[in-house]
A and B are shown apart, each in its own frame.
Chain A
Amino acid sequence: MSHLTDLPAWAAIPVCILLLLGSAVTLVGSMGLIRLKTFYGRLHAPTLGASAGTILICLASMLTFAVLQNRWIVHEVLIIVFVILTTPVTLMLLGQSALYRDRIEGSDDVPRKSTGEQPDTSGMDI
């Protein structure tokens, strides 16, 4: 733990706050996976960890390395950009496929398709 002693107090306190806040938000998001009752409700939960949690923890990491090495370390921005770009795509595809499966099974919990009965696959590639 030698390098962490080099961190001055003005940097250490924001790092701690960012870390604790980020991991708490992620934990709440993952708790949503257990607590919410339906699949479509659970679909909202991982976004918390992905957006807020990732940004906060990456900021903490950036701040630590920037202060320790005395230069700007920005490659955590890559992770932020990447996670923010990709999580919506994953969740969107999962939502679409869950809807498709529920409709094939004829479940009553999901809204029917307005036109025709057979689920079309042409509009599912966004």
Chain B
Amino acid sequence: MRYWFPFPLLSLSLLGLWLLINQSLSPGHIVLGTMLGIAFAWVMVNLQPDKTRLKNIGRIALLAGHVAHDVLRSNIAVMNVILRARTRPVNSGFVAIDISLRDENALALLACILTATPGTAWLEFDRQTGVLLIHVLDLENGQLWVNLIKSRYEAPLKEIFE
């Protein structure tokens, strides 16, 4: 089973995208989309991505809620910063964080979360030392950001992936 369907989630989401782009639920499109999804999953095998199993499914919903809330809040914060940039100069800076997350997929997800949130941008992760360098637009207290990222994102990601 695992041999024929190496990445079932990927195949399913490709099928979903195929049906969305064609705007139909006809049996022909479902068959074609399924074939495409399975074929592209085989292509993916050759890329040899790191396989990880999701351990804690329940935490994913909580993490997604946190991310949505943070993106909304920091959208408003960044809009404030930009609109007031003339009168109040921006105090931005780099923050280095020691993180113990090592799983490749978890790191990729963390990178996407941090960059999708407008106030923070992922710059670099050093695999040897485990130091993550991010840039924060509205930096008042570096330690606050370190604690926030460690408790709000890193801990749930560790629970989900490791």
Binding site for B on A (CB under 8 A): 25, 28-29, 31-32, 35-38, 40-41, 43-45, 47-48, 51-52, 73-75, 77-78, 81, 84-85, 87-89, 91-92, 95-96, 99, 110-111, 113-115, 122-124, 126
Nearest CB of B to A124, in Å: 8
- Judge whether A78 and B115 touch: CB under 8 Å: no
Number of A-B contacts (CB under 8 A): 116
A46: nearest chain-B partner, CB-CB:
B118
Q: Which 7 A-B pairs have the closest CB atoms?
A: A88-B115, A32-B82, A35-B85, A47-B118, A88-B112, A40-B135, A44-B137
B93: nearest chain-A partner, CB-CB:
A40
Between A and B, 9 residue pairs with Cβ closer than 8 Å are: A36-B82, A45-B78, A48-B79, A51-B75, A89-B112, A92-B115, A92-B123, A96-B124, A114-B131
B119: chain A residues at CB < 8 Å are: 44
- Judge whether A75 and B23 touch: CB under 8 Å: yes
A114: chain B residues at CB < 8 Å are: 126, 129, 131
- Size bin of chain B's contact surface: 35 or more
